[in-house]
Structure 1
Amino acid sequence: MDSGHVTTPFGRRSMTFAVLARQRQISKSAPDTKRNKWKLFRAVCEAREALNVSDRSLSVLDALLSFYPSEELYAANDLIVFPSNAQLSIRARGMTAATLRRHLAALVDAGLILRKDSANGKRFARRSRAGEINEAFGFNLAPLLSRAKEIEDIAAKITADREFFQATRERITLCRRDITKLIQLAIDGCVEGEWSQLHDRFRTFLASLPRRPSLDELQFLLSRLVDLRTTIIKLLDGHDKMQNMCARESQNERHIQDSQTQSSNESEAEQEAPPTRTCGSPANAEAAKKEHLSVNEALVDPLQFLKPAVALDTVLRACGEIHPYGPGGSIRSWRDLLTATAVLRSMLQISPSAFHQACLVMGPENAGAAIACIFERGGQINSAGAYLRDLTRRAKQRQFTIKPMVSALLRSKALTS
């Protein structure tokens, strides 16, 4: 669109400053901008709440995009589609004319399309004798393309927040399981302590969570559960050390008694007397110790592997290429890093299942750092998805952490600088 050209609406529809600003925005967009229309549409669907667009309006946008002949939306081309209401209604799943008009107006208000009305308000195209379109009147898809980067950033942030939300819920589930089984172990093993009060605290923490919690509320609950779980483990470890000391003292006492001369009657009496076992006896202590060790082996702390293994600023120094993909072109927190990796995953063709498994094994922050390192290495890795799955498999076997990977990138940068 020429910088001096402005299209005003037909009929009773009035011109607004918002429409004028969008037309100016289109005129200033880069002419080499292009996007796959269906990938861009999926990004709009992901960001629909932030864009204030309903699902019915998205159905109309889907129908409008189907009338554009090419798969690629290219800023240098004419992005105007001109279907009649009857054709548009058929592709919008039989939507009535009144509903269709309402949702078309909603798309215009959301800044995703613009009207280019003819003199009589009809939608049509003028063609040359060769059949090429010289001028068209209808709906302009250029606003959708000019806002592509903004829409993709919003969609990436929503995707990253959703995945981080899911990972936090899974970490809470693991912590809940650990607390429940460790308290049950303490009760069954007759470990001294205020276990009923600890269990009541545990239930109070869970009851404080609303039915539809936010991410911040989940993270707060997770921190409280981790602290409670750490307290329980310390109590069990203290009990375990005490039992070991009692067992050693008992063995030393029996050794001293056996070294003394005893009469045959006393020996026979001691042999006939059955051993009395109580909750604190060495035999029960040894059994409780074995059970405690077996449960601790089964409940190896999953959260110690889910915490960030490297500081965020270290990751950002090693992976400078990821900065432009963060919200607003910068990364200031782990959440910003995960937002950036949500964009990079589609570029690197990493499937959601591969990233989800990496989050479960390594933690979302470490998984995001791994993707940043993979992106930084660029052409050295043939298949980013397969490489991430291999890192996940090695991390599950405790054969991989992100720290050496980041350190190697820092060393290579130091050598080239």
Structure 2
Amino acid sequence: MDYTPVTPFRRTIDAAILKHQAATQEELPPTGANKWEILRELAAARVAFGLSDRDLTVLQVLVSFHQATILGDNDSEFIVHPSNKAICERLNGMPCSTMRRHLSNLVQAGFVVRRDSPNGKRYARRYGGEKIAFGFDLSPLVRRFQEICEVAEAVRAAEERYKRLRATVSLMRRDLAGLAEYGSSLRPELGVWDQFSDLAVLTGRDLRRKLEMADLKRIEEALGAALDQARDLLEGNVAENMSINDAISEHHHQNSNKDLYDLEPRVEKARGEGEALGDTDVEVNVNRLLDKGNSPGEPEDQLMPNIPLGLVLASCQEFKSYAEETVRHWHDLVRVADIIRPMMGISPSAWDEAKRYMGPEEASVVVVAMLERFGEIRSPGGYLRSLSAKAAIGEFSCGPMIMALMRRDAA
């Protein structure tokens, strides 16, 4: 036919329809496009084009009336002409009024163009070698295929960013809840831990529903600020708990045994250095620490470790798999050390010797710290005996051992 109509039969025309009609005059891609691939990409980008899933269902039925799989490949025929009844049958009995509404949405979106006959019927006629068809023109699907693919990729990228941000917020919420619980056990006098815990709970409730990207970013900022504050408080508390008297720290140094790395720190005796120290409180503190192992009759409570239990639990994790109950007190740690000691190959005599010279609590700290680097220690029993010998003459402290483990975890 020499003339292509642009107005629909007995329907109003608007600027959108004229725009899409004019686009059909553009040249088609030379290779065409797979109709099922078009539908798959359009399904991913349907929200961006203002289409619903029911709209795509109607479009899929229209495409199914086209016999070829590749639209536009050596075939310039794009018009399908099924009746309303045939379309509704393939739509599993969808009401005709509903089908027409979705068809109208497809026309307004520019993915289907109406080619109505003079009487509004859909049909095809042959006049010699020429075929004239009236119905629905599917050529916009091929012309806009590249645009559809680009929008679909952008939608997938946005969905991926959303999923990653949601996962990040979920992990931040979990970390904040854990730090709040740990911080409340270390410094229960601070009310900020309850605020952090409440923020984690409220975030968990928000994550149960579909949030917008802006809402997730706002929650991420709030959690990030809370986590920074919680870490600052905990790091300050750890530094405070680990800060031994300055003069004691001046006389700390570590053995450079290459096989055991940082697991043999000791405190050097300050004999002969009295002139430098003078008769001060510092000298009293140093002598008190160094004489700890030289007084067998000293009360056991003076042999307690010089580090908090919470720091030991944070640095040593391996022993927890052997603990039947949660370790909350020093006697709980001693009980766990009694359990894992034979598994490490430490004899009862070596264990008794360590408890005698170090005290049960500090000996337990040494055992759980050794378990952290068990693969690097050739003879755990002999190693423990050597540390017990140093403790007997006042040249050992378990504090630097835990510090070494903390530096390893932070590296």
TM-score (norm 1): 0.58
Within 5 Å, give how 1:184-195 maps onto structure 2: 184-188=181-185, 190-191=186-187, 194=190
Question: Are positions 1:17 and 2:53 aligned together?
Answer: no
Listed one character per residue, the Cα deviations across residues 26-77 of structure 1 (whole Å, up to 9, x for unaligned) are 1124442622212211222223233222322221111001111122222762
Structure 2 counterpart of 1:256, one-letter code: N
CA contact 1:185–1:292 (8 Å) conserved in 2: no
Q: Which residue is 1:291 aligned to?
A: 313
Q: Which residue is 1:82 aligned to?
A: 81
Which of 147, 158, 163 is residue 161 of structure 1 equivalent to?
158
Give the share of equivalent positions with the same residue, in percent: 30
Listed one character per residue, the Cα deviations across residues 128-184 of structure 1 (whole Å, up to 9, x for unaligned) are 77xx87222110011222222333233222222222111111111111111221222
For the residues of structure 2 that align with 1:284 and 1:128, how far apart are their CA atoms? 99
Which of 199, 216, 219 is residue 218 of structure 1 equivalent to?
216
Within 5 Å, give how 1:39-78 maps onto structure 2: 39-74=37-72, 77-78=76-77
Q: Which residue is 2:114 aligned to?
A: 115
CA contact 2:176–2:196 (8 Å) conserved in 1: no
Which of 285, 298, 301 is residue 275 of structure 1 equivalent to?
301
1:98–1:258: structure 2 CA closer, same or farther, 3 Å change rule? closer
Structure 1 counterpart of 2:24, one-letter code: I
Listed one character per residue, the Cα deviations across residues 374-406 of structure 1 (whole Å, up to 9, x for unaligned) are xxxxxxxxxxxxxxxxxxxxxxxxxxxxxxxxx
For the residues of structure 2 that align with 1:166 and 1:89, how far apart are their CA atoms? 38
Structure 2 counterpart of 1:200, one-letter code: Q
Instruction: Tell me the SS of whatever aligns to 1:51.
Output: coil
Listed one character per residue, the Cα deviations across residues 78-107 of structure 1 (whole Å, up to 9, x for unaligned) are 211111222211211211222222222222
For the residues of structure 2 that align with 1:223 and 1:49, how far apart are their CA atoms? 28
Instruction: Tell me the SS of whatever aligns to 2:300.
Output: coil
Which of 256, 278, 286 is residue 287 of structure 2 equivalent to?
256
Within 5 Å, give how 1:80-229 maps onto structure 2: 80-127=79-126, 134-188=131-185, 190-191=186-187, 194=190, 196-201=191-196, 203-204=198-199, 207=202, 211-229=209-227
Give the CA deviation at 1:294.
4.3
Which of 239, 246, 249 is residue 237 of structure 2 equivalent to?
239
Give the CA deviation at 1:247.
8.0
For the residues of structure 2 that align with 1:259 and 1:85, how far apart are their CA atoms? 98
Give the CA deviation at 1:226.
2.1
Q: Which residue is 2:263 aligned to?
A: none
Give the CA deviation at 1:116.
0.8
Give the CA deviation at 1:290.
2.5
Give the CA deviation at 1:198.
3.7
CA contact 1:6–1:20 (8 Å) conserved in 2: no
For the residues of structure 2 that align with 1:27 and 1:69, how far apart are their CA atoms? 23
Give the CA deviation at 1:111.
1.5
Instruction: Tell me the SS of whatever aligns to 1:246.
Output: coil
For the residues of structure 2 that align with 1:13 and 1:219, how far apart are their CA atoms? 47
CA contact 1:183–1:199 (8 Å) conserved in 2: yes
1:18–1:71: structure 2 CA closer, same or farther, 3 Å change rule? same
For the residues of structure 1 that align with 2:221 and 2:287, how far apart are their CA atoms? 50
Give the CA deviation at 1:185.
2.1
1:240–1:17: structure 2 CA closer, same or farther, 3 Å change rule? closer
Instruction: Tell me the SS of whatever aligns to 2:132.
Output: strand
CA contact 2:181–2:193 (8 Å) conserved in 1: no
Unaligned runs of 5+ in 1: 299-417
1:187–1:144: structure 2 CA closer, same or farther, 3 Å change rule? same
Within 5 Å, give how 1:21-40 maps onto structure 2: 21-32=19-30, 34-40=32-38
Structure 2 counterpart of 1:151, one-letter code: I
Q: Which residue is 1:409 aligned to?
A: none
For the residues of structure 2 that align with 1:260 and 1:53, how far apart are their CA atoms? 83
For the residues of structure 2 that align with 1:86 and 1:102, how far apart are their CA atoms? 15
1:275–1:136: structure 2 CA closer, same or farther, 3 Å change rule? same
1:120–1:242: structure 2 CA closer, same or farther, 3 Å change rule? same
For the residues of structure 2 that align with 1:116 and 1:259, how far apart are their CA atoms? 100
Structure 2 counterpart of 1:187, one-letter code: S
Instruction: Tell me the SS of whatever aligns to 1:98.
Output: helix
Structure 2 counterpart of 1:275, one-letter code: D
For the residues of structure 1 that align with 2:77 and 2:32, how far apart are their CA atoms? 12
The structure with the largest alpha-carbon Rg is: 2
For the residues of structure 2 that align with 1:201 and 1:244, how far apart are their CA atoms? 25
Unaligned runs of 5+ in 2: 250-266, 269-283, 321-411
Give the CA deviation at 1:9.
1.8
